[in-house]
Structure 1
Amino acid sequence: MSTETKGSLRVQVKASVLHGIKDLKIVIRHLGDPEPSEVTVAVQSTGLCGSDLHYFNHYRNGDIIVREPLTLGHESAGTVMAVGDEVTTLKVGDKVALEVGLPCQSCELCTSGRYNICPALRFRSSAKSFPHFQGTLQERINHPAVYCHKLPSSVSQELGAILEPLGVAIHASRRAELPSNSTVLVLGAGSVGQLCAAMAKYDGANRVIIADIQQERVEFALSHQFADASVVVPMKRFERIEDKLAFAKEVAALAKAQNLGAEVDAVFECTGMESCLQAAIYATKPGGRVMLIGMGQPVQTLPISSAALREIDLVGVFRYASTYDEAIKVVERLPQLASLVTQRFKGFENIPAAFAMAGRANDDNGALVLKVVVDLGSTS
């Protein structure tokens, strides 16, 4: 395929399409000219995230059920191949990171800057809206130029794909309103947890403690200086609520032991697990905040009086808004974030293997799995 500027552009593009549980097929789609305000992007790097895995493994994500064949992928970067007639901010050949949530831009939430919770928002690779907004595991897409963020030469396409989950961490850090020299606990040391820990340090936290059931994950955070201390959470399961809450207090005590026995200013809860959210409440100091980042069971039993009587704020975090400019600056200053990409797969034929790997804790060589990235190849 040749690089185009303006004029007629109608090409056939490959797309990876999910037709059922773990049923990925390569199909051919026809891509027309970009609209006047759009650009055509050759997608090169796409990271796989938890929601992609839920759709792949269950053909649903919580209560959201897939109703038509769906292309997954939304953590992406690529190269501009064509520009619409009204686009002046980008040119052919520019590297861009894709912000894939498109809000209405006119409702009260959008005009106040909270477009991430716009009721009409359409998000690539999500089955929430119908017809579904197809994802980025496709050779090329047409996308509004305003949501294509130009990357500096020092930021690779692969690192550009990290900007999307990094946006979640930036948004969470903003909503946490951390005091200076604060103490932070991060529950869950997957890629988002690692990024939340890194952002807390970046924003000036005095001490960051990270906790996970997998020792390798917390060791990764320590070795890359994303966190200062760690907790390996015991693998325990209970049925009675009394036993669950007792275990949550045990986990909170382990975290407080890493903070001179004191509660923390804020907890970034990145697992969605009931036991972790319970522990987060117990581990937070009076007047502190628990950031609800992980998506877990929709109904959970919480020690709500412990939160209310100590005026602990439970703060929701859903995706991000206006984070890409800051995210680009962060990855330029923290190049070690590139280490979060632990496995790479190239080409459409290897996408099923990439999804299988993303659901594992370790690869065949015993290496830690944090972020799996698919490389769709050249822009030719």
Structure 2
Amino acid sequence: MKAVVLHAPHDLRFDDIAPAPAPGPGEVQIAVSHGGICGSDLHYYHHGGFGTVRVREPMALGHEVSGTITALGAGVTGLTEGDLVAVNPSRPCGHCDYCRKGLAHHCLDMRFNGSAMRFPHEQGLFRAAVTLPAAQAVRLPAGTDLALAAMSEPLAVCLHAVAGAGSLIGRRVLVSGCGPIGCLTILAARAAGAEEIIATDIAAPALAGARAVGADTVLDLAGDADALAPYAEAKGQIDVAFECSGAPPAILAALKVLRPQGLLVAVGLGPEVTLPVTALVAREIRMQGSFRFDAEFATAARAIASGRIDVSPLLTRVLPVAEATDAFDLASDKSRAMKVQIAFPSP
């Protein structure tokens, strides 16, 4: 069967690989329909990895996919052949201390599709078909748009970040960094009751995306570096800031506008930054990180399927899987693309 396989930086091939095995007990086989190209996929494509992680063997990319169940293993209940599903790429062990404490996303033996952290690598989901534990498949209603359903994973990341912030009802929220995660955070924050959402970025296309998903105010910090200054008055005007870029200047800018006892949620990954500890202490600013997701995946999939959260403004283009390299090149051009997907032929 066909798969999108990375062999080395910029060496992406549409390879023939072994077919997906027949599902064993508790497993399902899924014909992959759509797959979204994520920032981590682009790191692998351009650099062969990120940080100290490097691809050491050919690896199928991708972890944002949807598809159709084509076969069931023994003992699987609640799913049938022909069901549309969103595929959760996380497979926690279920028995380590963190899994038993309800923190499965911090599993000590996590397997995550499309990751080179292990060797042999955990193969990604840009394959014509995959066989996985049934628990990784979230059933969707008939007629669900599988292109939109493939955005369940990044939306789950944002739902997790928003849930960790506590109640947003009536709150003034800042979202800095308006790529796909930032824009999905805007949608998640609005669904959680945020009263006002201010979005910042340094790129006009990203700000256009923020407008499209309903940000109340968008500020171009490249055109006006002091655009956030009014929100710093009277010790700060922002209740909760979601920092989605990972850029040190954006983190520092967000800290300046938080009100006393305001909360900064760090969602994006980036280089280390020196924090203004005096200001943090004097204004009792709270900071927390947000990492991946757990139960939020199923919530994200169902919110998309029902239309409660409309992710369609973020889908730039869907290309056939045979044009995967073109899709990765388009996804790399942030002036032209927000979310690019590849599509496999129907089985």
1:119 equivalent in alignment to 2:108: yes
* Partner of residue 84 from structure 1, selected from 50, 68, 73: 73
**Residue 59 of structure 1: how far off its partner (Å):** 0.2
TM-score (norm 1): 0.86
The one-letter code matched in structure 1 to 2:107 is C
Q: Contact (CA 8 Å) 1:178, 1:266: kept in 2 or not?
A: no
Gaps of 5+ in 1: 1-12, 237-246, 364-368
Is the CA contact 1:251–1:279 (under 8 Å) kept in the aligned structure 2?
no
CA RMSD of aligned residues (A): 1.9
Q: CA deviation at 1:214?
A: 1.6
Deviation readout 1:228-261 (Å, 9 max, x if unpaired): 111111279xxxxxxxxxx7xx46416x18x999
Say if 2:285 is the partner of 1:296: no
Q: Give 2:258's aligned residue.
A: 284
**CA distance in 2 between partners of 1:341 and 1:233 (Å):** 25
Structure 1 residues 118 and 94, CA gap change in structure 2 (3 angstroms): same
Q: Which residue of 1 is the match for residue 346 of structure 2?
A: 378
Structure-to-structure mapping, 1:167-316, within 5 angstroms: 167-225=156-214, 227-234=215-222, 250=226, 252-253=228-229, 256=231, 262-297=236-271, 299-316=272-289
**2-side partners of 1:312 and 1:155: how far apart?**
42
Q: Secondary structure at the match of 1:336?
A: coil
Paired amino acid for 1:281: L
In structure 2, the residue matched to 1:321 is 294
Partners of 1:188 and 1:270 within 8 A in 2:
yes
Aligned length: 345
Q: TM-score normalised to the size of structure 2?
A: 0.94
Q: Distance in 2 between matches of 1:262 and 1:306?
A: 11
Do residues 356 (structure 1) and 290 (structure 2) align? no
Deviation at 1:339, TM superposition (A): 2.0
Q: Match of 1:330, SS? A: helix
Q: Tell me how far 1:154 sits from its aligned partner.
A: 4.5
* 1:72 matches 2:45: no
Assess if the C-alpha contact under 8 Å between 2:209 and 2:313 holds in 1. no
The alpha-carbon deviation at position 14 of structure 1 amounts to: 1.2
Gaps of 5+ in 2: none
Structure 1 contact 269–277 (Cα < 8 Å) conserved = yes
Equivalent residue number for residue 15 of structure 2: 27
Stretch of structure 1 that moved more, 106-115 or 194-203: 106-115
Whole-angstrom distance in 2 between the partners of 1:154 and 1:78: 12
Q: Do the aligned partners of 1:113 and 1:321 also contact (CA within 8 Å) in 2?
A: no
Deviations 1:64-109 (Å, cap 9, x if unpaired)?
2222211110010011111111111211111110001111101221
Moved over 4 A (4+): 259-262
Match of 2:118 in 1: 129
Change (3 A) 1:154 1:206: farther
Sequence identity, in percent? 34
